[in-house]
Amino acid sequence: MGKPMSRNLLKAGHQLVVYDIDQSAIHELASVGAQPGASPSDVAAKSEVIITMLPNSAIVKTVIMGKDGVIEGARSGSIVIDMSSISPQVSREIAASLSQKGIHMIDAPVSGGEPKAIDGTLSIMAGGSQADFDEVLPIFKAMGSSAVLTGANGAGSVTKLANQIIVQLNIAAVSEALVLATKAGVDPELVFNAIRGGLAGSAVMEAKAPMMLDRNFKPGGTLRINIKDIGNVLETSHELGVPLPLTASVMEILQSLKADAMLEMDHSAIVRYYEKLANVEVARKPAGGQ
What pLDDT, on the 0 to 100 scale, is given for residue 288? 59
What pLDDT, on the 0 to 100 scale, is given for residue 169? 98
At residue 285 the predicted structure's pLDDT band, cuts being 50, 70 and 90, is confident
pLDDT tens track for 111-143: 988 889 999 999 999 999 999 999 999 999 999
Residues 73, 140, single domain; the answer is yes
- Dihedral angle sign, alpha carbons of residues 276, 270, 251, 52: positive
pLDDT at 199 over 60: yes
The residues, any chain, with a CB within 8 Å of residue 61's CB and separated by 6 or more, are 90, 93, 94
Rounded to 10 degrees, the C-alpha dihedral 151/63/236/101 comes to -50
Domain encompassing residue 175: 159-278
Question: Are the C-beta atoms of 106 and 84 separated by less than 8 Å?
Answer: no
- Asked about 160 being catalytic, the answer comes back as yes
* Cα–Cα distance for residue pair 79/161, rounded to 1 Å: 23
The tally of domains found in the chain comes to: 2
Residues 141, 72, single domain; the answer is yes
Residues 199, 233, single domain; the answer is yes
At residue 241 the predicted structure's pLDDT band, cuts being 50, 70 and 90, is very high
Compute CA distances 130 → 16, 54, 152, 193, 269, whole Å.
24, 24, 9, 42, 39
pLDDT tens track for 151-182: 999 999 999 999 999 999 999 999 999 999 99
pLDDT at 270 over 60: yes
Candidate list 3, 160, 208, 228, residue with the active-site label = 160
pLDDT at 99 over 80: yes
pLDDT at 289 over 60: no
pTM of the model: 0.91
Q: Where residue 98 sits, what CATH number does that domain have?
A: 3.40.50.720
What pLDDT, on the 0 to 100 scale, is given for residue 113? 84
Residues 245, 113, single domain; the answer is no
Average pLDDT, the chain: 96
pLDDT at 65 over 90: yes
Q: Where residue 249 sits, what CATH number does that domain have?
A: 1.10.1040.10
What pLDDT, on the 0 to 100 scale, is given for residue 148? 98
Last residue of a domain, which of 101, 128, 152?
152
